[in-house]
Amino acid sequence: MGPDTPSYARTSRAAVVADLDAARVALLADALRRAGYSVRTAGDAGSLAALLAAGVPDVVVVDAPLSAFDADVPVLVLVNLDSPEETAALERTGIRDSIIKPPAPRELVHRANALVGMVARRRAARQETEALRERLREVSAAVRSTNDPQEIADYVAAGFGSTFHADHVRLATFDDPRIPQLTADWTRPGLELVPDNMFPEEREARQLADRLWAGAESLPAPGLSPGAAEGGEDDAGRLAPGALSTLAVPLGEGESSLGIVWITVLGCPRSWSNTELGLIQHVAGNAAHGLIQSHLINSQQQVVRQLRELDKAKTDFLATVNHELRTPLTSIMAYLDMIQESAEEPVSAEEPVSAEVHQMLDIVVRNTERLRALMEDMLSVSRNGLDDSLMHLTPVRLGRTLDLVAAALRPLARQQNVTIALEPVPEDPEILADEVQLQQVFTNLVSNAIKFTPSGGRIEVGSESHAAPDGTRWATVSVADTGIGISSEEIDHVFTRFYRASNAMAGAIPGTGLGLAITKDIVARHGGRIDVASTLGAGTTVTVSLPLDAARSQAN
């Protein structure tokens, strides 16, 4: 550095000097160069615009008449305070300062350095704030990624500790039905774990958290920032013995607090900017929401597990009862068959079997058959409907199946004085189905129709095949009766297990409410659908649609 070099600080920044006065341009440029600036000069607005287009300098020193330009660059305006036109230039927006012309070289350099430094500090603060936001966004993302309350608390404690270079962080929730009670501690690597006496007990912590939470909802109290309490050297020891700086952040929801987060610094006092406090409170809000949601989800999952256990217990019970009843019932039915056979040919003519005994035996047989059917329904329920492994798909002729069902149920219909009319099937379609289960579907539907049709009524069973708009082919079977019908309010519930319509209950019509539920399950497993249409007091029509496409049946 030579003897003519000014004593003010040198720098390696770029500057543009623009002035209508050529002599002043030279003077200003020389002063900035001596301070270490690389300088470009302009004598009019056009030259200045070209220089700014070629590259953005660290500072522009510009005469007021030339200052009407837009550029994201610090501007030091040379102004004559006696000129209203020039002072008006100071009202323009942007990062700018002013200096009276002609300025002293030392003052020019000082003001240029100050302006550039201020901009640099602002830029650094913005970058730091953005980096802080990004780190805390990662904490919030981690909170949202889990439903484990302890993991949420651990993420928040570790995130606050590493982000703000703290020594100890503790997140503690209170005894509250909305969230689980837990504690998460974080300690800077190399330090001992958090001492038990570092933070207040729950009662004192809850009082402070309630005060902070209430204050955040209205006016902050003295010494409190919105949603946070800052402890200095005087009260930091009371909040956290051994800490020179402590920040307390409430976790809350609604009108009350749920917990509190302590952030402590041991080595030196720590001040917190409003930006930091705002971001901390934002993450604390996300943590409170996550803890509440995770608690709800875990509670729901626990209820689901309990319901599954209850359902399994019910299934096991039904299966056990079914097994225990099946053996004696089989024996009873066998002996009833033997008694009926022997009753047809009495042992001695002196003691003929009366018609009344025959009638009683018939009643016993019918009720035994009802009991057996009930057990079969219970067994289906205990299997949760039907197990796919129990289905044996084979080609089944629909017309033949309907003939077998109608023939089997006509004796029961005659006893009820009900007619079963089976419409002839024009073309007997072949369906890929489990024949036994398919017979159970139509047996349930026709026997239901018999049960709910008064004496003198009629049941019509018809079928047809057709093609749907999407090209698939279907077989449709309808079972229509002239029975008591179902009200429009109750028709949506007829496929619910154990549901029985009110008119069936009022008429003491026997049943368990399982038949239609099992029927719908079987139809669904065959890839079909079942629909019910009914008019109270006029009858019911049940329609079953089954796919004729073998590939579709196998897929379902």
pLDDT for 93 equals: 61
Token duo for residue 553: 């049946």
* Mean pLDDT within 507-518: 65
- CB-CB contact of 48 with 66 (8 Å): yes
Residue 79: Cβ-neighbour burial (10 angstroms; 0-12, 13-18, 19+): buried
What percentage of the chain has pLDDT greater than the value 90? 9
* Mean pLDDT within 63-92: 80
- Residue 520 — pLDDT band, cuts 50, 70, 90? confident
pLDDT for 5 equals: 42
pLDDT for 150 equals: 92
pLDDT for 479 equals: 92
- Residue 160 — pLDDT band, cuts 50, 70, 90? very high
Assess whether pLDDT exceeds 80 at residue 142.
Answer: yes
Give the separation between CA 386 and CA 211, rounded to whole angstroms: 60
Structural domains of the chain ordered from first start: 14-123 (3.40.50.2300), 131-298 (3.30.450.40), 393-555 (3.30.565.10)
Neighbours of 148 (CB within 10 A): 14
In 3D space, the residue among 500, 525, 535, 503 whose CA is nearest the CA of residue 515 turns out to be: 500
CA dist list (Å): 323 to 224, 317, 327, 331, 384: 72, 10, 7, 13, 16
Range of weakest confidence among 91-95, 200-204, 422-426: 91-95
- Give the CA angle between residues 364, 369, 371 to the nearest 5°: 95
- Residue 513 — pLDDT band, cuts 50, 70, 90? low
Q: What is the pLDDT of residues 324-341, one digit of tens each?
A: 666 677 777 777 777 766
- Could you give the 3-state DSSP secondary structure of residue 96? strand
In 3D space, the residue among 123, 121, 104 whose CA is nearest the CA of residue 32 turns out to be: 104
Beta bridge partners of 264: 168, 246
Q: What is the pLDDT of residues 475-498, one digit of tens each?
A: 899 999 998 888 877 788 787 776
- Could you give the 3-state DSSP secondary structure of residue 257? strand
DSSP string, 398-463: HHHHHHHHHHHHHHHHHHTT-EEEEPPPSS--EEEE-HHHHHHHHHHHHHHHHHTS-TT-EEEEEE
pLDDT for 501 equals: 66
pLDDT for 343 equals: 58
* Mean pLDDT within 109-134: 85
In 3D space, the residue among 384, 179, 133 whose CA is nearest the CA of residue 283 turns out to be: 133
Give the separation between CA 175 and CA 183, rounded to whole angstroms: 11
In 3D space, the residue among 431, 430, 441, 304 whose CA is nearest the CA of residue 386 turns out to be: 441
Q: What is the pLDDT of residues 294-308, one digit of tens each?
A: 888 888 888 888 888
pLDDT for 543 equals: 92
Neighbours of 363 (CB within 10 A): 10
Give the separation between CA 402 and CA 387, rounded to whole angstroms: 24
Range of weakest confidence among 148-152, 280-284, 310-314: 310-314
Q: What is the pLDDT of residues 15-61, one digit of tens each?
A: 999 988 888 889 999 989 998 899 999 888 888 888 888 888 889 99
pLDDT for 235 equals: 45
- CB-CB contact of 31 with 25 (8 Å): no
Q: What is the C-alpha R_g of the chain?
A: 45
Q: How confident is the prediction for the chain on average, in pLDDT?
A: 78
Assess whether pLDDT exceeds 90 at residue 407.
Answer: no
Assess whether pLDDT exceeds 90 at residue 154.
Answer: yes
Assess whether pLDDT exceeds 50 at residue 234.
Answer: no
- Residue 503 — pLDDT band, cuts 50, 70, 90? low
Termini Cα distance of the chain: 91
Assess whether pLDDT exceeds 80 at residue 198.
Answer: no
- Residue 158 — pLDDT band, cuts 50, 70, 90? very high
Q: What is the pLDDT of residues 417-465, one digit of tens each?
A: 999 988 887 777 888 888 888 888 888 889 888 888 888 999 999 888 8
pLDDT for 487 equals: 83
Give the separation between CA 523 and CA 527, rounded to whole angstroms: 7
